[in-house]
A and B are shown apart, each in its own frame.
Chain A
Amino acid sequence: MVNDQFGIVGLLTFIRAAETDPNLVSLALGQDLTALGLNLNSPDNLYPTFGGPWAEQPCRPQDIDFHVPPEYLVNSAIRDKLAGVKFTRYKDDLLFFMFYNNCGDVFQVLAAVELYNREWRYHTEEKVWITQVPGMVLLEKTSTYERGTYYFFDVHNWRKVAKEFHLDYSKLEGRPVIQQSMH
């Protein structure tokens, strides 16, 4: 057989080395290109919402600038009159809007902090926000779980929905934390 790097043995040697050296894998075996955050099955073009070479997701709607008449750009006239962004002032509805429309942004976590302060809890498995229904008596309670009726925030219909649920405490997110440098 060919006894240098240009035959089957050469390929095998490279593959074996790649098993122990992760830096070699990317060229030896390539990567799963479907895991780069691009919807390759999309019937629409990807480039209009392409977030860039290192973006894990496409652009969000708010990331895409559209050309508008200069008269619409009133920010410079009113920005001193706008109240600062303060999550404690907002209703639950707006907090959910901030949470679901700012993925991968500090605003998502800030919204989560305020929701937590208002006794909403994020269920890490169901991936929904839930809270106790005021006045409702629990059907069952132990040290690890409880069962009762809770409000779930239904993001698809954009409303609170009451449901009976077995709540495992270990599945609830604790208080969200923000790095000091982001405050």
Chain B
Amino acid sequence: PLQKEHQAQFQMMESAFFHMPHPSDSEKLRTYLPRSPYHTPPYYLQS
């Protein structure tokens, strides 16, 4: 079983899980064509 310390860590991690880093966080700001990840249909070109 998880120790208390690890339970507390899990709770913090769980909160962070709901606002994960975004790819644009690690890139220079693109004002004209900003990156906007979107879940496209699987039959579209994926890469």
Per the CB under 8 Å rule, do A and B touch in the complex? yes
For residue A75, CB closer than 8 A to chain B, the reply is yes
Which residues of B are found within 8 Å of A133, using beta-carbon distances? none
Of all chain B residues, the one with the shortest Cβ separation from A108 is: B40
Determine the distance from Cα of A173 to Cα of B40 in the docked complex, in whole angstroms.
12
Question: Does A182 lie within 8 Å of B43, measured CB to CB?
Answer: no
For residue B1, CB closer than 8 A to chain A, the reply is no
Question: Does B35 lie within 8 Å of A127, measured CB to CB?
Answer: no
Also in contact, A103 and B47, with CB within 8 A (given A54-B20, A75-B31, A173-B41): yes
For residue B46, CB closer than 8 A to chain A, the reply is yes
Which residues of A are found within 8 Å of B2, using beta-carbon distances? none
* Other contacts beyond A57-B46, A182-B36: 8, CB < 8 A: A37-B47, A51-B23, A63-B23, A65-B27, A79-B31, A104-B46, A104-B47, A106-B37
A residues neighboring B (CB under 8 Å): 37, 51-52, 54-58, 62-63, 65, 75, 79, 82, 85, 99-100, 103-109, 112, 122, 124-125, 127, 173, 176, 182
